[in-house]
Amino acid sequence: MLGTQQAGPLQLHTGAFGTAKDHYEVLVLGGGAGGITMATRMKRRVGAENVAIVEPSERHFYQPIWTLVGAGAKELSSSERSTMSVIPSGVQWIQDRVAELNPDKNCIRTDTGKEISYRYLIIALGIQLDYEKIKGLPEGFAYPKIGSNYSVKTVEKTWKALQDFKEGNALFTFPNTPVKCAGAPQKIMYLSEAYFRKTGKRPKANVIFSTALGTIFGVKKYADALQEIIRERNVSVNYKHNLVEVRADKQEAVFEILDKPGEKHVIQYEMLHVTPPMSAPDVLKRSPVADSAGWVDVDKETLQHKKYPNVFGIGDCTNLPTSKTAAAVAAQSGILDRTISLIMKNRRPIKKYDGYTSCPLVTGYNRVILAEFDYTAQPLETFPFDQSKERISMYLMKADMMPFLYWNMMLRLLGRTSLLAKAVSSGHALKMAQSLLLLDGFWTKIAVTN
């Protein structure tokens, strides 16, 4: 029986189904961006009745827009749909939580004790927010002046803290762990600084970005552009500062200084935005599919598991050495679709993922730097202009077009013609159609076709 040993890429892991009560050709774990997208693709491959998604939540969120929600530029309701509405028609939704993975027997167990077997498994369980690893959280969110754009429960508290700001330190943090959308912690900082200028509060505001990293961004071209913005807007940056405690009753944030072991730095704040430590979901950490750090251990080019050939991973839960973003998931989904289709035919995967990801760095209420890059941290830009420059057009793409593309293209896999027809039928026909044509290059990059 394969699975307890290294298997070749063409060998299927065909362990016994044991006492599994249900069986699916393709079982998808997680109903986020990666899970829904892959379920839609697999429905086309094997038929809806042969695909199931395990997902406990009744609500599905487009989380990239929370940056703008926290800054008061979008409503939280605009980011939400019911899970039922995004599940591909005919695909079985198992509304339960994954409790255990048993790839040696080709099955999983849910919280309710249900066993489900599969022929192919796609793991898309996302990333876990570990607020509790910061002393004083999450209970500290009960106090005013503190928020976090990473949780549906706290994103609107960011906007409230921003509105209530009078004078003092506006503090923004970045943790000493992998995070989803690594640009988001500083996006809200730039937006807050812009808000202070717009409301006349900037002279009394000391904007501070305290990051556990040693640089502002991992790609030099965009880091250089951001450093210039930081200098022009008089933002203070503390490198190698990792948030370890929040004393919300005293409005104090405590940081460990990573290159000075044992030394702490306490900062008083009038506003605090927390980016929490993050990790792989606990159910993955204790499973055979995880690497030593808890992430799904996949080949970085094919997204096929390194040990179990009929197991695949996508998105934030994997150990792919690229930024964890929705654009990365979109690019990965096309590669993974092709990988699985070839595996199903007992052929070797040939299409390779280059690590492409995109991060629209919001630098104001109408400006974005569109960072696009690959595994080697080299720019992989779409448009025929310097994307390290702040542009209104890229802000419109971030704020309006990308949510439209997410709900109508990425999750549903509508083609170009269908999307244009949908745009024409909306209340913004001309604007939408023009924008879709303008963004054709970006479209092609993230919408890898069959």
State the catalytic residues. 181, 359
Q: How far is CA 20 from the centre of its chain?
A: 32
Whether residue 281 is preceded by a cis peptide bond, meaning omega within 30 degrees of 0, is no
Tell me the residue type at 398: K
Q: Do 339 and 312 contact (CB within 8 A), yes or no?
A: yes
Q: Do 274 and 129 contact (CB within 8 A), yes or no?
A: no
DSSP state of 252: E
Three-state DSSP at 176 gives: coil
Q: Which residues pair with 311 in a beta bridge?
A: 121
Report CA dihedral (238, 244, 245, 251) to the nearest 10 degrees: 10
Candidates 220, 167, 209, 205; CA nearest to 184 is: 209
Tell me the residue type at 13: H
Residue holding tokens 């799904």? 296
Q: What whole-number distance in Å separates Cα of residue 335 and Cα of residue 328?
A: 11
User: Residue 357 to residues 279, 305, 374, 375: CA-CA distances in angstroms?
Assistant: 20, 21, 6, 9
Q: What whole-number distance in Å separates Cα of residue 324 and Cα of residue 315?
A: 7
Q: Other CB atoms closer than 10 Å to residue 1's CB: what's the count?
A: 11
User: Residue 415 to residues 400, 442, 443, 448: CA-CA distances in angstroms?
Assistant: 19, 14, 10, 11
Q: Do 48 and 88 contact (CB within 8 A), yes or no?
A: yes
Q: What whole-number distance in Å separates Cα of residue 72 and Cα of residue 200?
A: 17
Three-state DSSP at 76 gives: helix
- DSSP alpha helices (H): ranges in 47-94? 66-70, 83-86
Q: Do 2 and 86 contact (CB within 8 A), yes or no?
A: no
